[in-house]
Amino acid sequence: MGIVGWIIIGAAAGWIASLVTGNDKRMGTGKNILAGVIGGVIGGFFMNLIGGYGITGFNFWSLLVATLGAIILLSVVNAIRRRD
């Protein structure tokens, strides 16, 4: 999957994750994309740890893994912000 595919999957995953975690109002498009791309890395890492497939291409499974990773990332960020 090329860089354009990563950006598209990342944008969708970041947007979905921001809606789930309640960050949609605070985050702009750029941060949503960044959260999705980083979430894809996190999700792929964890999936590979447990023996599953991570990001496999431009498909629903990759979007799901990236979204779950972005939700984890945004949940951690929210927990840190609340603690301050």
Per-residue pLDDT tens digits for 30-84:
777 788 788 878 877 787 788 776 666 778 888 888 888 888 888 888 888 787 6
What is the Cα–Cα distance from 46 to 58, expressed in whole angstroms? 19
Please report, for the chain, the start and end positions of each structural domain, with discontinuous segments joined by +: 3-79
pTM above 0.85, yes or no: no
Gyration radius (Cα) of the chain, Å: 12
Residue 22 DSSP SS3: coil
DSSP sequence for 24-62: TTT--HHHHHHHHHHHHHHHHHHHHHTTS----SSSHHH
Nearest to 16 by CA among 73, 82, 76: 73
- Tens-digit pLDDT profile for residues 5-20: 777 888 888 888 888 8
